[in-house]
Structure formats: structure tokens, C-alpha cells
Amino acid sequence: MLGEVISDERAARLNTRPISIAAGWSEFRGQVPGHVNASAEQRESALSQLTAEALRFAGQADSSVLAYCYLPLETARELTKAHASDGAVMLLHNVETRMPIGLWAGFDDYVDWLPAGRRQRVRRELRRFRESGRVVTELPLPEVVKEIAPLNSALMQKYGHAAHDEERAVTIFDRQSRFLGDESSVLLCKENGKAVGFVLRYRQHDMLYARAAGFDYSVPNADDYYNLMFYHQIASGVGRKVSSIHLGINTYEAKMRRGGQPTPLYSVFVGVDRPLEAQDSVVREYEPNPIGGFPGQAQ
């Protein structure tokens, strides 16, 4: 990302040293939590101290860049202001989507809400899944760790994560089940008694956070992902219990076509030894559009 806004020579030098990440990792949203009753002045003071300490730590680690990743706009602006004297650069990094599932009373209401051109395709995807004979059940994570691990490993390896084998998936889900089992919810899809797909979610207050998925690619695809992530939950009345489902980042266009609402996420980069000296004209292309929409998006 920085290679687009700084000189090639500077980028080459930065790439020879580590990067320190102070917020956001592995595509998870970055946050800077604070006391709910803190005043604006108290929060600004705390951020000033935290960012100074983060920059000191990055220097001790001999890092070239200090990064705060996947931040909502307000937080990104706070951190950019805190690092103003350090020449911080704020760039659009990705888009997170949220499914406002509480909007719809049921599946028919949801389909009627969609644009006319999308309705036929959604009904076709739902019918294809139903005709496959697959059954969806909801279970807590501790009960299904070993069933979902090979499905998640298959998905990760399909997209290039060769080290994410079944053993590693079991380790990750087992750890999560010990600490987050009570908040977990797995939609497990089976065909003839065999697990062929799943979506793992965690509940917090009135939100569901979709955090992992996996599928058996040896069986025909019956639009499992969209049925598990969208259609099944709407049809089963989840909207009467939660307000929305967070769907994470990436593939946001496909999610938006089915009702997902976008939230741009930004990252803030700070040169550790000296300012990054980014080109202002290029950085402005990443700035939020004052009349709405994403940077660079025609209005």
C-alpha cells in the first residue's frame, strides 16, 4: 500500500526491516478501546501517550514502519491527529460489511427489499440448496471442533494458506471453544449425515460476528455459503433476536449485492526513523469523500 504513495527507493529501504503493528491484525478490525465515560480531552491525552509509546516500541524493535490497520474512519482520524508531528499517512485499506438482518420480518420481506434484478437469483440459490437435501443445525463450537476443522482447512488451503492444515485448525478452534464457547454459534450443514459446510459466529449484545467458515469441495456446491451466511439466518428468524451480522472484510461486492451494508476501514502508517514523505496528491485519492461513498467512487 505504501508503495503507491512513497518513492520506490524509500519503499525498497522500508521493506528490508520489520513492521510493527499496533492495532488490527490478520484482517480483524483495529480498535483503540477507552473508558466509556472519558471526556474528549482525556481520550486525546491517552491517545497521545499510547501512540508515543507505540512509536518508541517500534523503534526499539528496529522497525521501519508503525502501522494501525483496519480502523473505522473516526479512529483512523484520531490516530492520524495523534501522530501529526510524525507525518502519519491514512489510507483506505478495505471494506467491512454488515448484514442489517433486523430490517426484515422474514425471507419474503427480505427478497421484496432486494432490487428486482437480484430477487430471481436469490430465489434460485435458495431453491438449489433446498433441493440438495442438505440440513442445517445450530450447535455450540465445543461440540463440533473436529467436524469443522477439515472443512476450514480445505477453505484455507484453497486460498493459498498451505500451513493451515487440519491439525492447526483443531488447535485454533479448540482454544476458541475453551474461552468463547458460551458465546459461540455454529451453523453446520450436512448431507446424508456428513458435514459439508459451516459458519462460525460469536454473539455480543445484539450482534453476531461471523468469524470463520469452511466447506467440503469434493461435493457439488449448492450455494452453501450464501445460504448459511444470509438466507438460512433470515428465514429462521434471526432478525427477531439480533440486529445485524458482521461479515468481515473481502468479497464485499458480493455481500453488498445480497443486502450487506459497507463500512470502509482505513490504516494509518507512521515512519519510525523519519516521516514517510508520502505524495499528498496521491494520498488525497484515499481520503473519504465529503459527500459520501468510498474514495475514488463516482457520485
* 40-60 vs 73-82: helix crossing angle, rounded to 10: 70
Backbone angles phi, psi at 122, to 5 degrees: -65, -45
**pLDDT at residue 4, as a whole number:** 83
Average pLDDT, consecutive stretches of 10 residues, N- to C-terminus, the chain (299 residues) = 86 90 84 90 96 97 95 94 94 90 87 91 93 96 97 94 94 96 96 96 90 94 93 83 87 89 93 86 67 46
How far apart are alpha carbons 74 and 92 in whole angstroms?
Answer: 13
Residues 133 and 191 sit within 8 Å (Cβ to Cβ): yes
- DSSP 3-state assignment of 199? strand
Backbone angles phi, psi at 50, to 5 degrees: -65, -45
* 145-158 vs 166-180: helix crossing angle, rounded to 10: 130
Q: What is the pTM of this model?
A: 0.80
Beta-strand runs (E) in 50-171: 65-71, 89-99, 135-139
Fold of the domain spanning 101-259: Aminopeptidase (3.40.630)
**pLDDT at residue 104, as a whole number:** 87
The residue ranges of every structural domain in the chain are 2-95+263-286, 101-259
Q: Give the strand pairing for 194-204 and 207-215.
A: antiparallel
| Counts of helices then strands in the chain (DSSP H, E) | 11, 9
Please compute Rg for the chain using Cα positions. 22
**pLDDT at residue 240, as a whole number:** 78
Grid cell at residue 236: 429462521
How far apart are alpha carbons 103 and 48 in whole angstroms?
Answer: 40
- The pLDDT tens digits for 65-88 are 999 999 999 999 999 999 999 999
> The sheet that has 207-215: what strands, in order across it?
19-23, 65-71, 261-271, 89-99, 244-249, 207-215, 194-204, 184-191, 135-139
**pLDDT at residue 228, as a whole number:** 94
Architecture of domain 2-95+263-286: 2-Layer Sandwich (3.30)
Residues 107 and 122 sit within 8 Å (Cβ to Cβ): no
Residues 24 and 71 sit within 8 Å (Cβ to Cβ): yes
